[in-house]
Structure 1
Amino acid sequence: MRYHAEHKQEAKTKLLEAAGRGFRRLGYGGIGVDGLAKEAGVTSGAFYGHFKSKDAAFEAAALAGLDDLRTGTASLQQQMGARWAEAFIAFYLGERLHCILDSSCGLQSLTPDVTRASEETKAAYGTALERVAQQIAKGLQGSTDEARLQKAWSLMAILSGGVTMARSVGSREARDAIAAHLKQAALALL
């Protein structure tokens, strides 16, 4: 049976979303092709019909995670105007800190595995990361484009690194204390 192009794209999107959840939850080394296929509710053969390898699926999932962050930031900037950054910080240190790992931000949860990925994946990820930083910089104050970009990189590092550290402690009280300190630092940066 032949599937139409729309069906194939829907299947690939479903598989990509499932791969993103699996890689966020278990890490690159913690899930294989069979696990990724199971996460998507397809066979391993169907997986290989869309991705040539686990590496290719990981790269696609990592890039999709950054694209979600970029488009979400642009949407928040449009909706909230000048107050977008405060809302972004609150969201990142609230919902993104406390959500299940499957739903976490790709920047926070997938970057550690990108550091061990192929040079091609790192290059593609770097390009996508630059687009995220540029989007964030568009909404920040600063006397020059370079000053806004510096703030954007700093804000991304504070939030993603901070959430990573906060997620690594067992106590909800410690996690919330870390988030409170990070919020102060992020707001001061603005």
Structure 2
Amino acid sequence: MRYPKEHKQQTRQRIITTAGRRLKRDGIDGSGVATLMKDAGLTGGTFYAYFASKDDLVAMAVADQMRAQHENIVAQAAPGRAGLEQMIRWYFSTEQRDSIEDGCPNAALLDEIGRSTHPTRQAYTDGALVLIDGFAARLAPHDPRSARLKALGLLGMMAGTLQLSRALADRRLADGLLEQGIRNALAMLDAGQN
């Protein structure tokens, strides 16, 4: 039975989406092709009908996760400082910390992306630039490029704080770190504003 052309694209997108969730939960190295395909309801043998290699899928999943984070969080936030504060408070929530596979790809995958292939690092870089440009547009609406490095620093601080909070076994300490993360990020927004 032949499927319409759209079926292959829909199946490919389903693989990318489910792979993104699995990669965030189990890591890039901890997610084999067979498992990634099983998550999408397919056999491992069909993998090469959709992707040239696991690295190809990883790069596409990273790009997809970064795009989704922008569309679902950054693009939906209010303009100006209110939007930044909204994103910061969402990011440092216990729900965001505790839902790794549905959460931020930055906090879940940065260490592995840094050791990945150039296409994966480029997919991440392209997605990160979209995120930080969304931050920068809220930091300096009349000259977003001037705020790009500050926005990049904000993203780095947020991802690192969330990673550390996820790693702590002491839940009270982890919750306190999230609260401190909010205070630190808001202070970073205010730095140099006078």
Match of 1:33 in 2: 33
- RMSD of Structure 2 on Structure 1 (CA): 1.7
Gaps of 5+ in 2: 190-194
Secondary structure of residue in 1 paired with 2:52 = coil
Match of 2:188 in 1: 189
Residue 145 to residue 81, structure 1, CA distance change in 2 (3 Å): closer
**Greater shift in the superposed pair: 49-58 or 141-150:** 141-150
Match of 2:125 in 1: 126
Match of 2:46 in 1: 46
Equivalent-residue separation in structure 2 for 1:143 and 1:158 (angstroms)? 24
Residue 154 of structure 1 pairs with residue 153 of structure 2: yes
Q: Is the 8 A contact 1:73 1:135 kept in 2?
A: no
Q: TM-score, normalised by structure 2?
A: 0.89
Equivalent-residue separation in structure 1 for 2:136 and 2:5 (angstroms)? 37
Q: Is the 8 A contact 1:108 1:160 kept in 2?
A: yes
Residue 148 to residue 20, structure 1, CA distance change in 2 (3 Å): same
Q: Post-superposition shift, 1:57?
A: 0.9
Match of 1:21 in 2: 21
Secondary structure of residue in 1 paired with 2:79 = helix
Gaps of 5+ in 1: none
Report sequence identity in percent. 27
Amino acid at match of 1:48: Y
Q: TM-score, normalised by structure 1?
A: 0.90
Equivalent residue runs for 1:23-102 within 5 Å = 23-77=23-77, 80-82=78-80, 83-94=82-93, 95-99=95-99, 101-102=100-101
- Deviation above 4 Å: which 4+ runs of structure 1? none
Q: Post-superposition shift, 1:73?
A: 3.8
**Greater shift in the superposed pair: 68-77 or 172-181:** 68-77
1:107-160 Cα distance to aligned partner (Å, 9 max, x none):
211222111111232233222222221122111137743442122112101111
Q: Is the 8 A contact 1:15 1:47 kept in 2?
A: no
Structure that is richer in helix per residue: 1
Equivalent-residue separation in structure 2 for 1:111 and 1:60 (angstroms)? 15
Q: Is the 8 A contact 2:74 2:87 kept in 1?
A: no
